[in-house]
Chain A
Amino acid sequence: MIGMDSTPSPSSDEELLAAYRRASGEGRRAAADRLFARYYEQVGRWCLRLAGEREAAADLAQDVFLKAHRHLDSFQGASQFGTWLYSIARNESINRAKRSGPSADDDSEETLIAIPASDPNPEELATRNSSARRVDRLLAQTLDEKERIVFTLHYGDELPLAAITSLLRLENSSGAKAYIVSAKRKLARAVERMLARGERA
């Protein structure tokens, strides 16, 4: 932090939050409004990526801020306010995109390979903790970074391909679909090789 003015300013996130907590009634609401208004454009940009057009983006952003307002009292200041607000925007927008579009929309001939079982109890695969290390190792060894991210968003978050393409600004002709097709092929080959060698994922 350099060149910081020693004069207290009421316009930082921290100070507006302090004003929100100190005040009551109208002053409290005004402090919250000022705090949120600082992020209208940034949240708007994010919502534009997922919603596609500005009216829908404004509707989505409005819901993000309403939700943030409802939960503002639970924000303890353990993290930066902007990051906290981002977490709400991220979850709200991805949930909205999941509801509005098909998640199984890659429409490719490649089959999504099942995760090879590592022990006699394949039911354990249902829990992330038991399979996380194996899956992460498989993805790290098999896919490049962009493929891993697209794969995680599509199969982990069930985000439709069009939303992933827009969110990550993928400019190739088939967008996220190309990464999913490539990832599925690579994973199928990797698992085949592993099984042929008698290895576990």
Chain B
Amino acid sequence: MSDARDQWRAALAPTPQCIPLERLGEARTDAEREHLASCARCQTEVALFAEMNAMDASADSRWVAEELHRRFETNVKPFSPRRNARFAWAAAAAIAIAIAGGVWMETREPSIGGVESTNVYRALSVEAIAPVGDLAEAPRELRWKPVAGATGYAVELREVDRTLLWRSETSASVLALPADVVAQCAPGKSLLWDVAARRGSDVLASSGVQRFRVAVQVPRRNVP
């Protein structure tokens, strides 16, 4: 192999000693730590994984999440996504049949698996209100918009590596954080949370993962 690019590509490929991508969120073993210290490939993967966990929500990312809800809500077959022309024709045909038959079509839950009939309800997105993004101080509560039909909400707070810090449930759309949980919200440390709206044991909707971080306070200098 004479081409320098080919040499580097081969030399930078993962080895059997490299940390599997699926283990990036797990605690490192001694052998993995030792390997990571010297392996450019694993250092790169760890950096990418950290970057993914540190990404902020934006209007565009919320749009993408809602778009995914919309796309999978249409019960498309796994190999026939919405942008596929075959699906467009099938959808048009289905609508025409429904109109011709006077069929009232109930809204369906998103289904990646894709089925023609379902008796579950449409999954909405729970709109998280706070905390989201960078905060001046540690949050005292989690707040979201209530979901029609929900009888309760299950909330989880996690570290960025998805270690569970706290879980609780409530029937309200606000939940106070216990003092020991508030103490976990150290300045500069990002945390993730999500809330799922439930009716009985059924989950109606989820907020998706929300991220927040308490800003690090820079002490002011005393001006003489």
Contact = CB atoms under 8 A, between A and B. Distances in A.
Contacts of A47: 64
A44 B47 CA distance: 19
Interface string B46-63: 011101100111101111
Interface string A29-43: 110111011111110
B11 A41 contact: no
B15 A128 contact: yes
Nearest to A56: B64
Nearest to A132: B15
B52 A12 contact: no
Interface string B160-204: 001111111100000000101100100000000010101001110
B68 A61 contact: yes
Q: In the complex, which of the residues B118, B119, B178 has the most CB atoms of chain A within 10 Å of its own CB atom?
A: B118
Contacts of B24: 83, 86-87
A137 B25 CA distance: 26
Contacts of B14: 128
Interface size class of A (residues with CB under 8 A): 35 or more
B44 interface: yes
Given A38-B206, A39-B208, A156-B9, A45 B123 contact: no
Interface size class of B (residues with CB under 8 A): 35 or more
A112 B3 CA distance: 10
Contacts of A173: none
Given A10-B198, A32-B113, A140-B40, A128 B12 contact: yes
A198 interface: no
A113 interface: yes
B216 interface: no
B4 A45 contact: no
Interface of B: 1-2, 4-16, 20-26, 38-41, 43-44, 47-49, 51-52, 55-58, 60-65, 67-69, 71-72, 78-79, 81-83, 109-115, 118-120, 123, 125, 154, 156, 162-169, 178, 180-181, 184, 194, 196, 198, 201-203, 205-206, 208-209
Given A9-B167, A57-B64, A79-B23, 14 more contacts: A29-B118, A33-B112, A37-B72, A37-B206, A40-B64, A45-B61, A54-B67, A58-B64, A79-B22, A86-B49, A90-B21, A129-B16, A131-B10, A153-B44
